[in-house]
A and B are shown apart, each in its own frame.
Chain A
Amino acid sequence: MLTIKNLKKTYSNGVKALNDISLDIPKGMFGLLGPNGAGKSSLMRTLATLQEPDDGSAQLDDIDIINNKDTLRKVLGYLPQEFGVYPRVSPELMLDHLATLKGVTRKGERRETVDALLHQTNLYDVRKKSIDTFSGGMKQRFGIAQALIGEPKLIIVDEPTAGLDPSERNRFHNLLAEIGENVVVILSTHIVDDVSDLCANMAIMGEGEILLTGTPSDVLDKLKNKLWRTRIKRGDIATYRDQHQVILSHLSAGQTIIHVLSDDSPGQEFEPIDADLEDVYFSTLLSNGINVSF
């Protein structure tokens, strides 16, 4: 159980990255949704001991994350949003080195772990190649492999699927789902489907605050019978926006489709639809005055 209380962080340029964040995160996959600049990465980095909060606390079971970074690092697996690799180093060598740094000091065990990880992430065949020749997906799998070394109790993955093609993303999800059963896994993303596919619990962040928490089904309930859809001409969107609470628009076969939030039917051209997480996401942002351009 990860307990976050009143975490605050203001950057030197005045941006409030974390504005009094409190969250309880149970075991299992936890999805953290939010647009760019919502403070997801700041939160993740704070939990990954990479950044100091101005105030507040964070506790994993009985480990004080803020003041006892060294202890937390022993049970942490972290995959940052974006990472690179050293030139001319193979995944095998690098995993072996990282395993050493993670305290897997017995050579035999380390070897087995590295081999197992390479197999699990399907990198075994390329284990001797240099990582800097890897494709985005392979690199990402290497990233998850390193995060899994040493049976971490807290796994933080920041935007893991950005830049992956659908099959890679799928494979990645399978892996995450598998390991997410017994430990706390925090997955930050701005891709709504990642969360709906994987997470038992979730939160939506915006402008440094937690806007919404719950299970995906709980949050979907909030929009039950309130969501309407219609097709409009592209030029008409401004008019609709003036008249209705438009939470989302997208193109479909050249036509613009908008989703509108309303307790009653907003008009005859509208049809009621079941909300998905994306609607929840956008409506939450919108109701908090966060303008996501569309």
Chain B
Amino acid sequence: MFGSIFRFEVNYHRRQFLFYILCSVFFLLTFLSTTSDNVSIGPTFSNVNINAPIAVISSLATLSILSLFGAVAFVANGVVRDYDLKTAELFLTTNVTKFEYLYGRFFGALLFSFGIYFAGLLGVVAGEFAPWLDQERIAEFSWGAYWFATWAIVLPTLFFMSCIFFCLATITRSMMSTYVAAIAFLMMTFVMGSFTEPETVDLVSKIEPFGLTALAEQTRYWTVFEKNALIPTMEGNFLINRALWLSIGLIFLGVAYRLFPFSVEKVTLGRNGKNKVQADEPAVPDTRVEFSLPQVTREFGLSANLAQYFSQTQLEFRNIVFSAPFIVLMLLGILNVLGSTAGSLDNIFGTPVYPTTGTFVMIINGTLALSLIGVLVYYAGEVMLKERAARFSEIVDSLPYPNWVMMMAKLSGLILVIISMLVVSALAAIGVQLYNGYYELEILVYIQGLLMFYQFPLYFMCVASIFFFVITRSRYITMFLIVLYTVSLIALPQMGFQHHLYRMNKPFMNYSTFTGYTHLIEPFLWYTLYWSLWGLLLMVIIHLFWPRGSEFTFKSSVAVARQRFTGSVGIAAAVVVMSLTATGGFIYYNTTVLNPYMSNLELEEKMANFEKTYKQYQYQRQPGIFSTYVEVDIFPEEREVFLKGHYEMVNDGALPIEELHFTRAPGVSITALEIPNSTLELEDDDFGFYIYQLEQPLQPGDKLKVSFRTEWLTPGFMNNGASMKLTKNGTFFNNLDVFPIPGYQSGGELQDNAKRRKYDLEPIQRMRKIDDAGALGTTSLGGTGRTEFEAIVSTSRGQHAIAPGYLQKSWEENDRAYFHYKMDAPIWSFFSFLSADYEVQTDRWNDIAIEVYYKHNYNVDRMIYATKKSLEYFEANFTPYQYRQFRILEFPGYQGRFAQSFPNTIPFSERIGFVADLTDKKDIDYVYYVTAHELAHQWWAHQVLGADVQGQTMIVETLAQYFALMVMKNEYGEDTMKKFLEFELDRYLSSRGAELIEELPLSLVENQQYIHYRKGSVALYALQDYIGEDVVNKALKHFLEKHAFQGAPFPTTLDLIQALRLAAGPEHDALITDLLEKIVLFDLKVQEVAVEELADGQFEVTMDISLAKFEADGAGKETEIDVNGLFDIALLGEKDEETDVYNVIQISKQQIEGNSHTISIITGTKPYAVGIDPFNKLIDRNPDDNIKNVDS
């Protein structure tokens, strides 16, 4: 019997279209994602082979998430079907047993959910052999990854999920409830998936149902080489995860058997069927025949229609809001919001930010987006079918209301549901704010951000969903179309279709306390109008085809639509179409005529063409600027900048210069460029490249003056990508944005080698080689030397404009504010300009004025304190600060989360410290760290800047990191550095696998952030720990003294390392080589620890440690090398409650050779834990096992 039930199930599904549709969708999806850059499921790996095991496994594992819905469809259908079709009695009265019936169905259906996965798998396999693939990224075919993905990830996942949903379907007998549970399951998974920090990932790996986190955890530190070569293994958290979920699945499968009543009764949990009580029939025998109703007035005018509309809307809203799926989705949404807001979003180094409303609006919109679309997908069909589902439609349809009443009521019902979810989330968020003692609630920002700016596309989708339904008359096709619509919003831009004229998605909106949504509102309103008109047009069509009555054939629909197409409808449609055309035309004019419109693909192509045309000039020597004078007129309200000025240039090379080259940023026009005795030979306004031929070549040492005027206008509005540098309040740009810049700029080159191959470009050269003697004369800031700098910056009255240099004079004239800045010594050609209505706090350290220009004053004191402590340390240990003033300037968060160091001037993002919440002492004080780092750049960049070759960013960034680390260490103590270094180490290790080209040792770093910041921190901290802070400081001081303010040739890391070696002495040569000149990794671990109490009350601690050391090549291939060196061996006490830092009982370096070692220490205090390199000073691939607790 089992066999026959099983066969019956198989035969049933075999005849359903669903299976074939899902199979083809899955096949196509994976085939396309394998063969096209424009489609992807799961994470993308542009730097590894297309068929790298990790890429294959990731696609297939992601597919298991999608298969979830297939599993529900098949498995739940198996149990629900008989009740829906009322065939249950037929089956239940045969002699089939419950076991056979239930499990026959289950396994029959399971087979099909496996089936669709295999269709997806075939898609990947077929994709690998597509002839148009980039063959350089295709390795030899191997089944290994498929085998692993199938048996370790997908089939177990599908099995246990099928068990769970089978059980739920058995209990609820409702497909919909089962789908809702599936959505809940997914949302839960997404929430879990967002916990990727090392401290939470361990737990999440064990419990996240799809095993994706466990997979990510296992491959977190994989390098490019490993990603191409290795297959994950079934061990550790991954194994625990699979075992856990398989057991849960089996339990559910058993529960399903227990709870399945094997009768047509509903499953009742506890309340034994009491939920269905019949209303009592009144016992009065009623033979009354007199019949009279009160006289009523009936109205059918507009006001009556409005009353009908309100009544119907209430009913629609009520109907959704009191339904179980909505309540579940709502609760999940709120939990999600609470989790995200209370938790870790938008933080840096694990330190939270203040719960500002702007941040919360972003979080809510981000976390709720999926639930809102889910609500829409489900309820669009639901509201449209409500009357029909209740078999009440014939009554309702024959009532005397106009179609629009019902249409608007259903639309309003849907929209109200979305709004109510947002309002409840906002209330939850406000709760979190109040709980955290934050009282600046900014209700208006909630309303704007949650209900208007971000959700408008969703309102439009409500109209579109109703339209889909009215046209297709099918709930499932409607669902499918909504999903397709949503996916297309994401997928179209990848294919080069980005214009919002045909793609209504979230317009680019960004909030900052500085100016709110600033100039983004105008395009938003235009697009809103435009899409509202589309909505109206759809509504006209909806009106014509509004389902009313009992017949739904094409013919009758058209006949009815004809009747409904009255003169007034025609006029309305015509007016809408005309307004739509006009608005569309206006938007087109603004976005495509006034402003350039370019898709990503077009932009890529343009970048490639720019490089092809002009890269030939990259190293053609240009004269150096030795004096710069500019008048910069900023018009914040108009978002315009006018520039007038001149450069004085000198040929500081050895050869005569015949041509001058200038570039300018897109969107800027050079209105005048005067070079005496020259002719404009090439004027390329498209690419912004200009070549001037000098009549007489400029001889070495000769000077010339270049005068220029430029305009940076922002006519109309753009499709997206409107510059956030110019805003009504909170302007921040630098000279590269608006000045004519001498010579070819390589910043606009395509970085991804796979893309470069597509355009026949050579692999990218990020930096010139360190031994390129010709490169030593230029710096990374482009120039060959420094320039005098003088600027008069004007802005609107009421705003404060700031540029590098000292303020000479400020005045007001013609309702504008003028500020005259002049620097007393030459600086690099890199100038910032800011304007906003700032608050200012001033202070002083010795003779140095400290000024902070801010909007948020939470951490201003902290910044000033950090500045003082840094100045103190830097001046004591290195060279003097070269300026008599230090300014920090807050700029709006939507420009990015960074701070940047200009001479005596640090623009500092609102989001990188101004709103950090530093109340918890356990958290890393990154405001202190960033301030110190940026101040350090006044030395590392503005005093010494390396030559523009490999290793350049080590000098600028790694040494600034080192300065900051030392100031932090001074302030917080050595033991607290572990937390910061752990973050740095994790970022370094996890970024290696994302390397696009080649990982380089620190000394040869090619502007790779994970190396010069992350690895740099760890390496330099280790260096000073091993050879002494004073030794490193001495070396750096010498290096600074030798190179500060010097002209070409500029120093390289060769000079730096030489200075370090000289100071450290030969005994540290190997260490310096390992840290700075090679890619060396360790795997240190405490295997065992035993503590024995001795007779004299002392303790003998014995620990077994294992050590391994590897050297990696640029691709991440590691070779084990011999261990022989000094390692920290520590006995640790318990963690300090307040700071969460171990108390150190004793720590010392021991010379250890070989891969395993036993150490024995006699100590007076019983340790809580022991460790080898416990503070992660060395780069350790498994930093978590360096410490082992002593069993008590």
Contact between A45 and B550 (Cβ–Cβ < 8 Å)? yes
Residue in B289, B296, B556 whose beta carbon sits within 8 Å of that of A174 in the complex = B289
List, in ascending order, chain B residues with CB within 8 A of A146's CB: 395
A106-B296, A175-B291, A179-B291 are known contacts. Are A101 and B396 too (CB-CB below 8 A)? yes
Asked if A50 and B303 make an inter-chain contact with CB atoms under 8 angstroms apart, the answer reads no
Q: Name the contact of B549 in the complex, choosing from A45, A105, A116, A175 (C-beta under 8 A).
A: A45
In this complex, which of B280, B282, B289, B298 has the most chain A Cβ atoms within 10 angstroms of its Cβ? B298
Interface status of A294 (Cβ within 8 A of chain B): no
Scoring B residues 547 to 559 as 1 if CB is less than 8 Å from chain A, else 0, what string do you get? 0111101011001
Within 8 A of A (CB), among B388-418: 390-392, 394-402, 405
From B293, B319, B549, contact of A151 by CB (8 A): B293
B284 adjacent to A122 (CB under 8 Å): yes
A218 at the A/B interface (Cβ < 8 Å)? no
Residues of B within 8 A of A70 (CB): 400, 402
Instruction: State whether the Cβ of A98 lies closer than 8 Å to any Cβ in chain B.
Output: yes
Contact B289 A86, beta carbon cutoff 8 Å:
no
Rounded to whole angstroms, the CA-CA distance of A88 and B319 in the bound complex is: 8
- Chain A residues near B548 (CB, 8 Å)? 50
Q: Which of A89, A100, A122, A126 contacts B307 (CB 8 A)?
A: A100
Asked if A101 and B399 sit within 8 Å, CB to CB, the answer is yes
Residues of B414-451 whose CB lies within 8 A of A: none
Of B286, B390, B551, which is within 8 A of A85 by CB?
B390
Pick the residue among B282, B315, B392 that contacts A122 (CB under 8 A). Answer: B282
B400 lies within 8 A of A73 (CB): yes
> How near does chain B come to A208, taking the closest CB pair, in angstroms?
15
Contact B296 A113 (CB under 8 A): yes
The interface residues of chain A lying within 8 Å CB-to-CB of B295 are 109
Q: Complex formed: what's the CA distance from A130 to B318 in Å?
A: 14
Q: How far is the CA of A116 from the CA of B288 in the complex (A)?
A: 13
How far, in angstroms, from A89 to B311 measured CA to CA in the complex?
A: 14
Docked pose: A258 CA to B396 CA in angstroms: 45
CB of A160 within 8 Å of the partner chain: no
**Within the complex, which residue of B278, B401, B556 is in contact with A133, where a contact is CB–CB below 8 Å?**
B278
Rounded to whole Å, the gap between the CB of A141 and the closest CB of chain B is: 10
User: For residue B286, which residues in chain A have a CB less than 8 angstroms away from its CB?
Assistant: 122, 171
Q: How far is the CA of A89 from the CA of B392 in the complex (A)?
A: 13
Q: Contacts A67-B563, A122-B286, A151-B293; is A105 near B550 (CB within 8 Å)? A: no
Contact of B398 among A73, A97, A113 (CB under 8 A): A73
| Contact of A80 with B394 at beta-carbon distance under 8 Å, contacts A106-B297, A148-B293, A174-B289 already known | yes
> With contacts A86-B319, A97-B315, A103-B304 known, is A52 near B287, CB below 8 A?
no
B486 at the interface (CB under 8 A from A): no
Q: Could you say which residues of chain A place their CB within 8 Å of the CB of B312?
A: 97, 101
Residue of A nearest to B291 (CB): A178
Partner of A117, one of B293, B308, B553: B293
Chain B residues with CB below 8 A from A45, complex form:
394, 549-551
A267 at the interface (CB under 8 A from B): no
Q: Once the chains bind, are A105 and B400 in contact (CB under 8 Å)? A: no
Interface centre among B288, B293, B322 (most CB of A within 10 A): B293
- Judge whether A84 and B294 touch: CB under 8 Å: no
Checking A12, A83, A150 against B296 with a beta-carbon cut-off of 8 angstroms, the contacting residue is: A150
Tally of A interface residues using CB under 8 Å: 63
**Smallest beta-carbon distance A117→chain B, Å:** 7
CB-defined contacts of A138 to chain B, threshold 8 Å: 279, 281
**CB of A76 closer than 8 Å to a CB of B:** yes
- Report the minimum CB–CB distance from A119 to chain B (whole Å): 9
Give the shortest distance, in Å, between A8 (CB) and chain B (any CB): 13
In this assembly, does A291 line the interface, its C-beta being within 8 Å of a C-beta of chain B?
no
Shortest Cβ gap from A199 to chain B (Å): 17
Contact B551 A126 (CB under 8 A): no
Q: Per-position contact with B for A122-142: 1 when CB-CB < 8 Å, else 0? A: 100110011001110110000
Contact between B307 and A105, CB atoms less than 8 A apart: yes
What per-residue 1/0 map shows which CB atoms of A63-102 lie under 8 Å from chain B?
0000101100110101110111111110000001110111
How many chain B residues touch A (CB < 8 A): the figure is 56
- Greatest chain B CB density within 10 A among A84, A113, A133 is at A84
Find chain A residues with CB under 8 A from B292 CB: 116
Question: How distant is the Cα of A98 from the Cα of B395 in the complex, in angstroms?
Answer: 9
Nearest chain A residue, comparing its CB with the CB of B315: A97
Q: How far is the CB of B472 from chain A (nearest CB, A)?
A: 17
- Complex: chain B residue closest to A109, CB-CB: B296
The answer for the CA separation of A241 and B476 in the assembled complex, in Å, is 52
Tell whether B141 is near chain A: CB-to-CB under 8 Å: no
In the assembled complex, B265 has its CB within 8 A of some CB on chain A: no
Chain B residue numbers with a CB within 8 Å of A100 are 307-308, 311
B276 interfacial by beta-carbon distance below 8 Å: yes
- Indicate if A48 sits at the interface (CB-CB under 8 A): yes
Question: Taking CB as reference atom, which chain A residue is nearest B389?
Answer: A84
Chain A residue with the shortest CB-CB distance to B282: A125
Closest chain-B Cβ to A173's Cβ sits at a distance in Å of: 10
| A112 at interface by CB-CB < 8 Å | yes
- 8 Å CB contact of A50 from B288, B390, B550: B550
Residues of A with C-beta under 8 A to B282: 122, 125-126
Task: Tell whether B1136 is near chain A: CB-to-CB under 8 Å.
Answer: no
- Answer whether residue B815 sits at the interface, using C-beta atoms and an 8 A cutoff: no
Please, which residues of chain A bring their CB within 8 A of the CB of B276? 133
Residues of B within 8 A of A89 (CB): 315
Contact of B290 with A by CB under 8 A: yes
Q: Across the interface, do B550 and A113 meet the contact criterion of CB distance under 8 Å?
A: no
Provide the residues of chain A in CB contact with B395, threshold 8 Å.
Answer: 78-80, 83, 98, 143, 146-147
Tell me, yes or no, whether A120 is within 8 Å of chain B by CB. yes
Partner of B399, one of A98, A116, A129, A151: A98
CA distance A138 to B311 in the complex (A): 24
Q: How far is the CB of B302 from chain A (nearest CB, A)?
A: 11
Chain B residues, Cβ within 8 Å of A122 = 282, 284, 286
B560 within 8 A of A: yes
Contact A50 B394 (CB under 8 A): yes
For A133, the chain B residues whose CB sits under 8 A away are 276-279
B8 close to A (CB within 8 Å)? no
Taking CB atoms, residues of chain B closer than 8 Å to A284 are: none
Question: In the complex, what residues of A have CB within 8 A of residue B559's CB?
Answer: 52
Measured between beta carbons, the chain B residues less than 8 angstroms from A101 are: 308, 311-312, 396, 399-401, 405
Contact with B along A149-177 (1 / 0, CB 8 A): 01100000000000000000001001101
Q: Is the CB of A103 within 8 A of B293?
A: no
B296 touches A110 (CB 8 A): yes
- Which chain B residue shows the least CB distance to A128? B279
- A99 smallest CB distance to B (angstroms): 8
1/0 per residue, CB under 8 A from A, across B267-282: the answer is 0000000001111111
B766 within 8 Å of A (CB atoms):
no
Q: Does B386 contact A (CB under 8 A)?
A: yes
What residues of chain A lie closer than 8 Å to B399, measured between beta carbons?
73, 98, 101-102
Q: B308: which A residues are within 8 A, CB to CB?
A: 100-101, 103, 105
Interface string of A34-53 (1 = CB under 8 A from B): 00000000000100111110
Q: Which residue of B lies closest to A143 (CB)?
A: B395
Q: Does A104 contact B (CB under 8 A)?
A: yes
Kindly name the residue among A84, A105, A177 whose own CB sees the greatest number of chain B CB atoms within 10 A.
Answer: A105
Instruction: Give bound CA distance, A110 to B298, whole Å.
Output: 10
B875 within 8 A of A: no
Asked if B614 lies at the interface with its beta carbon under 8 angstroms from chain A, I say no
19 example contacts (A-B, Cβ-Cβ < 8 A) are as follows A12-B553, A50-B397, A51-B556, A83-B392, A83-B395, A98-B396, A101-B399, A101-B401, A103-B299, A103-B400, A106-B296, A109-B295, A116-B292, A117-B293, A122-B284, A134-B278, A171-B286, A174-B287, A178-B289
- Known interface pairs A52-B551, A83-B394, A178-B289; 10 further A-B residue pairs with C-beta atoms within 8 A, sorted by A's residue number: A45-B394, A69-B563, A74-B298, A86-B390, A105-B299, A113-B296, A134-B279, A143-B395, A151-B293, A171-B286
Interface residues, chain A, CB within 8 Å of chain B?
A: 12, 45, 48-52, 67, 69-70, 73-74, 76, 78-80, 82-89, 96-98, 100-106, 109-110, 112-113, 116-117, 120, 122, 125-126, 129-130, 133-135, 137-138, 143, 146-148, 150-151, 171, 174-175, 177-179
